[in-house]
Chain A
Amino acid sequence: MTEAELRRRLTQPAPSEEEAGHRTWEVVRAAFVERERVPRIERRSRPVIAVALAAALAVAAITPPGRAFVQRLRDVVGRSPTEPALVRLPAPGRLLVDSAQGPWVVQRDGSKRLLGSYDAASWSPQGKFVVATRGHSVVALEPGGKVHWTVTRPQPVAQARWAPSGFRIAYREGSSLRVVIGDGTADRLLARSVVAVAPAWRPGPVNTLAYVDTNGGVHVVNVDTRGELWATTPGPPLRELAWSADGDRLLAVSRGREQRIYDGQGLPVSTIELAAGHVASRAAFAPAGRTIALTDFDPAASRSTIVVVDRGREQTLFKAAGQLQDVEWSPNGRWLLATWPSADQWLFLRTPGVGRIVTVSNVAGEFDPGETGSRSFPRLGGWCCS
């Protein structure tokens, strides 16, 4: 083979070259536009990349449904060194991150903007607005920080969530659940005696909301007619509600072993059962389909596992010492972001399986740039809108 022949053979197009080019140009163009529009606010920690492929990560074992999660995979040991900065998100979209200083909007290129002194925030359905809470106030603002309206209540407010229609916002005031129209008007009571579990809007054009009462019962109501569509009997304490993207499955994450999944009419259709003594920290449906990602914590061994459940099949993606906290899907469903407070890290896991892992370290410091001393580990408020 001559050098000329080698050149000729190497210069032929590679598989997926053209499609990958189209996708990448969209990402690059968006980053360029955002870069022009959004002033960078944290030059100090900007340009250090933290792409570390973990050398000893335990990856991917499939177990039959209903069985205890496998314990045979290796723990995370001997990880590749990581460098301390969040430089870019591996998938399109923007992240909301709640820190001790307030919520941050993280752009795809890693630049961050502190929204202000709010307790927590979540996205509007298209990511054009953010709804935040602070003390007794619910505030609607743009991701750039411009406030549009405020509703103030006698008691502290929390867990504001914007409906997929864009026309309603639900939030909790003490032990009551209230709903306000998307322009900040017609604030009204929806339910009393609710627990501190974020209400969950059902995807779709109808303003349907799920919430949990103080007896552990789940209620699904049409917010506009106030008609209750279905409710469950009282049950164990719940920590989270999550709808599938098609609105036909509701996952009720409990503080016990059993995690129940209901269909659109409120009938329990399946259960994810954890091993004895384990608890589910967080769970999230993928942005398409009915795949669930769940963090399973074993307090006795102080070990966590990220499990993906798809059509009854459980797949263990990742195991780690300590507690994994939040889990969030990228808008395109190709990446999972898990937060790991004891390691002060974020883990971006490429799915399905774990084709790739991107590790970001020094996360608490990233969201406390002035080092105010209140370095509580930041929580995820949502990964929005590719």
Chain B
Amino acid sequence: MPGSGDERAWVRGAQAGSASDLEALFRSHWPRAYRAAYLVVHDAAAAEDIAQEAFLSAVRAIHTFDRRRPFGPWLHRIVVNRAIDWARARSLRREIGEDALEGAPARPDPPGQMLSEGIAAALAGLSPEHRAVVVLRYLLEYTPGEIASLLDLPRGTVNSRLRRALDSLEGRLEKERP
């Protein structure tokens, strides 16, 4: 993760029109933004679109961004909320249009050679809302209070989702062990 001084300098540079500072900001945040989207939606193309939209939003708003605030939470709020919306909409479409989707199977994602397939499959068994809190807590390292703020949820709801998600993950991963 970049130091807060680096990040402020990059934001300041980007606000002044420096593409290299914007690139530094992008490079430091892309992996976790994309990974977070992917772990919620489980679709590489959708994750790319979601993370891309978040960065384009950042570009559009960069001149008005308050440099005293960290950039990550602002970006992650967009990424995770859009990823939840996307995953919910896909579930809804499956429920009401299963027959219509025949003949157009989703393109399979490339095999997960790097991300553990076990953990991805286990996460896929959770609801989008539960995946999101796991990703925010254990990939993006937010506290439950910060997650509550990012998702506009009561802190108690975040804690209960985390607990249930971890229990479910534990069970699913246990089953896979030889």
The answer, yes or no, to whether B175 is at the interface (CB within 8 Å) is no
Chain B residues at the A interface, C-beta cutoff of 8 Å: 14, 17, 19, 22-23, 26-27, 30-31, 34-35, 38-39, 43-49, 51-53, 55-57, 59-61, 82, 85-86, 89-90, 92-93, 96-97, 100-107, 109-116, 118-119, 134-135, 138-139, 166, 169-170, 173
Q: Are B47 and A35 in contact (CB under 8 A)?
A: no
Complex Cα spacing A350 to B97, Å? 18
Q: Which of B51, B89, B114, B169 contacts A53 (CB 8 A)?
A: B89
Q: Given that A14-B35, A33-B19, A109-B59 are contacting pairs, would A53 and B112 also be in contact in the complex, using a CB cutoff of 8 Å?
A: no
Complex Cα spacing A355 to B35, Å? 20
Q: Are B30 and A27 in contact (CB under 8 A)?
A: no
**Which chain A positions have C-beta within 8 A of B105?**
353
Complex Cα spacing A24 to B112, Å? 20
Counting chain A residues whose Cβ lies within 8 A of the other chain, the interface size class is: 35 or more
Chain A residues at the B interface, C-beta cutoff of 8 Å: 1, 3, 6-7, 9-17, 20-21, 23-25, 27-29, 31-33, 35-36, 46-47, 49, 51, 53-62, 73-74, 78, 80, 88, 90, 108-109, 315, 350, 352-356
Complex Cα spacing A300 to B61, Å? 48
Closest residue of B by beta carbon distance from A33:
B19
Q: Given that A6-B138, A23-B48, A32-B19 are contacting pairs, would A355 and B107 also be in contact in the complex, using a CB cutoff of 8 Å?
A: yes
Q: Which of B31, B90, B93, B104 contacts A21 (CB 8 A)?
A: B31
Q: Are B30 and A356 in contact (CB under 8 A)?
A: no
**Which chain B positions have C-beta within 8 A of A16?**
44, 48, 109-110
Q: Are A53 and B22 in contact (CB under 8 A)?
A: no
Q: Are A13 and B115 in contact (CB under 8 A)?
A: yes
| Nearest CB of A to B55, in Å | 5
| Nearest CB of B to A81, in Å | 12
